[in-house]
């Protein structure tokens, strides 16, 4: 029987004719899969690929349902005025309206009055063309994307310390070879389950896994040691571990001397992070601090990996730098089976931040404020360097500016659902309502598209071709497996069509390969150099790791083995003082709120909430609270609870779990409407990366319907 089709009498060739090897539409693991066409139906089958080795999570197995969803948009829609409903329209009418509105806004208020908001799920080709569209066709500085809410702090810290931002500087296959791994703020067992095979193998070989997380997640339960830290205390924890490692003589003096700069200032700062103080700041017992420091410090090889738990805070660049300090001081970077890395979340979170949809960047990770970088990209684009705008506002600042005097008046959103995913989402929804004009390109009527003046129906995932860059920095090819439904266009066609109407007739190709060829030229010589990568090479080699500086270049699976990407080749230490979160619990809002993801859903849920199996697996949002907290408030399992912060209120069912700290409430962010947890989150921004503080703010809880007087009993809090 055939492994893919399950049929008895079908030749291998017949199956291959119906199968398209491609990748999952969701997270940054970008698992390989086959899509099988069978009498008009499409299903997912396993595919041996180096990253997932045939494994998929429930989201991947059910992804084909997106292709036949009855909720699929197949016609442009527009509303003639705000009081009216969206109505079907022709492409000519819809694109013409957008071009006219953008032109009018810019004539009236200046070029920066039009904003562009992209997404970390867009292919490299789309991210590249969107950036070019903003800078060349609109000449606005106001472009940014939802990856600002995801990877910006890890990226900024990587640039500061290593001179380059690639999430993992080594392939996943190296993970089982590390003796010890410290995973900070990552629940990969739920968010990207197939990656667990690498951590499982590491432990089978005798390795130890340490997880730092305020919750005893599935990942933490698989660990040898769980550090259940207070939300927002990551930098204190990192400094505390380095303090112990220093005191116990575990530092790698040769590595520090030969491959780094700036250690002395770090030594002085961590001297005051004695274990008892760090226990007070982080809630992690002194004994566990010693155990963790000794495990990492005495290991021959170790990796430190961070994710959103540490990275979505108003001091998250500092958090990441503090853990990088630990890796560097122990000599656990730039060596085989060692290293610091960050686990990218969104499907193209890595590539999406390399090619120009970030407001301060040009393609190839070039800087928009660097004259040489501007001149190079201007020449590729055939424009004068002085016509390129400078850096504009970061994602939250861009949305927050809407309606103000110098703010954005008209906005194009592509591949993002900011009504659900932005912090302080009620405020952002009001800002969107203050726009003169909103256009959204999407394949479902997302929560954000529902507010739009024009909605453009676009192709999705398996209906188009394009490259994605996974969390390892491996560039992959997403292939077209099925014809798109009549009436939809690709995002590339949308951008080319709009550019044409705005007077740039020939500068915007709409075929993915042509766009990728231009991207290769634009990235050549940049930090993220894709010039040697072709679609054919990607297929032949199961992906190509950037930088890849020519077609004969092998690509770069492992970075930093000889030198770091700084001008002097040395990694840089940064002295980091712990600073508390922007908002801490007080009498009025006595608990921490932290947010995250669940296994069955992805991002704002626009796609996964429309897949029956995923909806059934996790039909609604929930607030995870400790049984002791629940008892104090008279809350039972499944009771509706009301969570309130200084920014808003959300209502969802209670899920009682001893896996969470007694002082902390956890809620996933995949849902809209009354359960929209981002109504509550704090938009306090990291000063460097402009990352909002999704992971920690102060909240109060009450049983829905209970009055507020009963909302703040005294609770003894602790980490277990
Ligand atoms: S959601 Fe992520 S982990 Fe799950 S199958 Fe898709 S790429 Fe793999």
How far away, in angstroms, is 602 Cα from ligand 1 center? 9
Give me the sign of the Cα torsion angle 156, 161, 164, 167.
Answer: negative
pLDDT in tens, 610-652: 999 999 999 999 999 999 999 999 999 999 999 999 999 999 9
Contact in structure between 309 and 184 (CB atoms under 8 Å) = yes
* pLDDT at 671 (0 to 100): 92
Number of other CB atoms surrounding residue 111 within 10 Å: 15
- Asked if 348 and 720 count as a contact pair (C-beta separation under 8 A), the reply is no
Q: Where are the alpha helices (DSSP H) in 555-672?
A: 612-617, 627-632
Q: Which atom of ligand 1 is closest in space to residue 33's alpha carbon?
A: 5
Digit-coded pLDDT (tens) for 120-150: 999 999 999 999 999 999 999 999 999 999 9
- What's the token pair of residue 505? 């007739």
Closest CA to 220 of 233, 209, 230, 229: 209
Task: Report the C-alpha gap between 447 and 427 in whole angstroms.
Answer: 15
Q: Which of 34, 57, 172, 598 to mutate to test the pocket of ligand 1 (most atoms within 8 A of CB)?
A: 57
Pocket test for ligand 1, best of 23, 24, 172 (most atoms within 8 A of CB): 24
How would residue 5 be classed by pLDDT, with cut points 50, 70 and 90? Answer: very low
Q: How many angstroms does the Cα of residue 479 sit away from the middle of ligand 1? A: 16
Determine the distance separating the centroid of ligand 1 and the alpha carbon of 292, expressed in angstroms.
Answer: 30
The string of pLDDT tens digits covering residues 344-373 is 989 999 999 999 999 999 999 999 999 999
Q: Sheet with 19-23: list strands edge to edge.
A: 19-23, 32-38, 41-46
Question: What count of Cα atoms within 13 Å lies in the side-chain half-sphere of residue 681?
Answer: 31
What is the Cα–Cα distance from 614 to 493, expressed in whole angstroms? 31
CA-wise closest residue to 276 among 286, 288, 268: 286
- Atom 8 of ligand 1: nearest residue by CA position: 31
Contact 170, 340 (CB under 8 A): no
Distance from Cα 657 to the centre of ligand 1, integer Å: 26
Q: Is the torsion defined by CA of 155, 160, 165, 166 positive or negative? A: negative
Least confident interval from 138-147, 377-386, 627-636, 701-710: 701-710
Residue 13: pLDDT band with limits 50, 70, 90: low
Choose which residue among 193, 198, 608 to substitute to test ligand 1 binding: the one with the highest number of ligand atoms within 8 A of its C-beta: 193
- Strands of 140-278 (E only): list them: 143-145, 180-184, 208-212, 225-227, 260-261
Would you state the pLDDT for residue 717?
Answer: 35
Q: Whose CA is nearest to atom 4 of ligand 1?
A: 57
CA of 277 to the centre of ligand 1 (A): 40
State the Cα–Cα distance between residues 48 and 461, nearest whole angstrom.
20
What is residue 8's predicted lDDT score, i.e. its pLDDT? 52
How many Å lie between the centroid of ligand 1 and the Cα of residue 711?
40
Looking at every residue in the chain, the average pLDDT score rounds to 94
Q: What is the pLDDT of residues 79-97, one digit of tens each?
A: 999 999 999 999 999 999 9
pTM to 2 decimals? 0.94
Q: In this predicted structure, what is the pLDDT of residue 705?
A: 77
344 Cα to the center of ligand 1, angstroms: 12
pLDDT at 719 over 80: no
Model confidence at 423: pLDDT above 90: yes
pLDDT digits 0-9 by tens, 456-466:
999 999 999 99
- What does each C-alpha distance from 512 to 93, 541, 627, 669 come to in angstroms? 25, 20, 53, 32
Site to probe by mutation for ligand 1, drawn from 23, 25, 29, 53 as the one with most ligand atoms within 8 Å of Cβ, is 29
Q: What is the DSSP string of 502-548?
A: TT-SSS---SHHHHHHHHHHHHTTSSS--TT--HHHHHHHT-EESP-
CB count within 10 Å of CB 681 equals 29
What does the pLDDT look like over 496-548, one tens digit per residue? Answer: 999 999 999 889 999 999 999 999 999 999 999 999 999 999 999 999 999 99
| Protein residues whose CB sits closer than 6 Å to any atom of ligand 1 | 24, 26-27, 29-31, 52, 56-57, 59-60, 192-194
Residue 653 CB burial class (10 angstroms; 0-12, 13-18, ≥19): middle
Average pLDDT over residues 69-88: 95
Which residue has the CA at smallest separation from atom 2 of ligand 1? 27
Phi, psi torsion values for 271, nearest 5 degrees: -60, -25
**Cross-strand pairs, 544:** 475
% of the chain surpassing 70 pLDDT: 96
Give me the mean pLDDT over the 395-408 stretch: 94
Give the pLDDT confidence score for residue 12 in this predicted structure.
Answer: 64
In the reported structure, the alpha carbon of residue 432 is separated from the centroid of ligand 1 by a whole-number distance in angstroms of 32
Give the pLDDT score at 2. 40
Question: CA 476 to CA 351: how far, in whole Å?
Answer: 10
pLDDT in tens, 176-233: 999 999 999 999 999 999 999 999 999 999 999 999 999 999 999 999 999 999 999 9
Q: Report strand pairing: 622-625 vs 649-656.
A: parallel
* Res. 253: pLDDT tops 70: yes
Q: Which atom of ligand 1 is nearest to the CA of 191?
A: 3
State in Å: Cα 353 to ligand 1 middle: 20
Give the C-alpha separation, 169 to 578, whole Å.
Answer: 26
pLDDT range class, residue 278, cuts 50, 70, 90: very high
Q: What is the pLDDT of residues 658-686, one digit of tens each?
A: 999 999 999 999 998 899 999 999 999 99
Indicate whether 104 pLDDT > 80. Answer: yes
């Amino acid at each position: 029987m055939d492994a893919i089709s399950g049929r008895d009498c079908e030749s291998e060739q017949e199956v291959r004719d119906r199968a398209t090897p491609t990748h999952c539409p969701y997270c940054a693991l970008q698992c390989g899969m086959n899509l099988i066409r069978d009498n008009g139906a499409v299903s997912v089958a396993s595919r041996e690929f180096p990253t997932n080795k045939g494994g998929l999570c429930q989201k991947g197995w059910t992804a084909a349902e997106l292709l036949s969803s009855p909720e699929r948009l197949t016609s442009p829609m527009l509303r003639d005025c705000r009081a009216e409903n969206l109505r079907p329209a022709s492409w000519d009418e819809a694109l013409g309206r957008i071009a006219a509105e953008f032109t009018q806004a810019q004539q009236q208020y200046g070029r920066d009055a039009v904003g562009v908001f992209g997404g970390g799920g867009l292919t490299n080709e789309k991210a590249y063309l969107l950036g070019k569209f903003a800078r060349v066709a609109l000449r606005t500085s106001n472009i940014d994307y939802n990856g600002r809410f995801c990877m910006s702090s890890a990226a900024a810290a990587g640039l500061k310390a290593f001179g380059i931002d690639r999430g993992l500087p080594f392939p996943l296959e190296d993970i089982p070879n590390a003796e010890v791994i410290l995973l900070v703020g990552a629940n990969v067992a739920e968010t990207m389950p197939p990656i667990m095979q690498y951590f499982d193998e590491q432990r089978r070989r005798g390795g130890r896994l340490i997880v730092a997380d305020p919750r005893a997640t599935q990942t933490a339960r698989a660990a040898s040691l769980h550090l259940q830290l207070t939300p927002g205390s990551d930098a204190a924890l990192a400094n505390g571990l380095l303090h112990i490692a220093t005191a116990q003589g575990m530092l790698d003096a040769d590595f520090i001397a030969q491959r780094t700069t700036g250690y002395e200032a770090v030594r002085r700062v961590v001297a005051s992070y004695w274990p008892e103080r760090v226990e007070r700041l982080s809630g992690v017992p002194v004994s566990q601090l010693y155990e963790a420091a000794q495990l990492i410090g005495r290991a021959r090889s170790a990796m430190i990996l961070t994710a959103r738990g540490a990275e979505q805070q108003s001091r998250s660049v500092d958090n990441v730098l503090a853990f990088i300090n630990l890796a560097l001081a122990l000599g656990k970077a730039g060596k085989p089976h060692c290293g610091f890395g960050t686990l990218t979340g969104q499907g193209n979170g890595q590539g999406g931040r390399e090619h120009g949809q970030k407001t301060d960047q040009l393609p190839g990770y070039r800087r928009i404020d660097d004259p040489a970088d501007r001149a190079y990209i201007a020449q590729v684009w055939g424009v004068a360097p002085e016509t390129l705008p400078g850096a504009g506002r970061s994602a939250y600042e861009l949305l927050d500016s809407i309606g103000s005097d110098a703010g954005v008046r008209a906005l194009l959103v592509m591949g993002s659902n900011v009504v659900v995913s932005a912090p302080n989402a009620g405020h952002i929804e009001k800002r969107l309502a203050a726009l003169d004009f909103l256009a959204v390109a999407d394949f479902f009527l997302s929560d954000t598209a529902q507010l739009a003046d024009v909605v453009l129906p676009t192709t999705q995932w398996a209906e188009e071709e394009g490259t994605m860059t996974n969390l390892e920095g491996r560039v992959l090819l997403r292939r077209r497996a099925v014809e798109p439904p009549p009436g939809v266009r690709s995002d590339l066609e949308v951008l080319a069509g709009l550019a044409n109407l705005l007077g740039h007739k020939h500068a915007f190709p709409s075929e993915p390969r042509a766009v990728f060829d231009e991207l290769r030229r634009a990235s050549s010589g940049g930090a993220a150099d894709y010039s040697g990568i072709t679609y054919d090479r990607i297929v032949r080699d199961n992906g190509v790791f950037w930088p890849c500086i020519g077609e004969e270049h092998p690509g770069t699976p492992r970075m930093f083995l000889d030198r770091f990407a700084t001008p002097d080749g040395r990694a840089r230490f940064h002295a980091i003082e712990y600073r508390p979160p922007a908002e801490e619990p007080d009498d009025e809002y006595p608990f921490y709120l932290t947010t995250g993801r669940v296994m069955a859903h992805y991002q704002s849920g626009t796609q996964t909430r429309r897949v029956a199996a995923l909806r059934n697996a996790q039909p609604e949002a929930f607030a995870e609270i400790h049984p002791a907290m629940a008892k104090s408030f008279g809350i039972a399992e499944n009771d509706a609870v009301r969570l309130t912060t200084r920014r808003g209120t959300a209502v969802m069912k209670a899920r009682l779990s001893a896996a969470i700290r007694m002082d902390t409430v956890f809620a996933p962010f995949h849902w809209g409407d009354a359960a929209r947890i981002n109504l509550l989150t704090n938009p306090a921004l990291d000063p460097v990366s402009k990352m909002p503080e999704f992971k920690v703010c102060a909240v109060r809880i009450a049983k829905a319907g209970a009055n507020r007087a009963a909302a703040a009993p005294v609770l003894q809090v602790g980490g277990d």
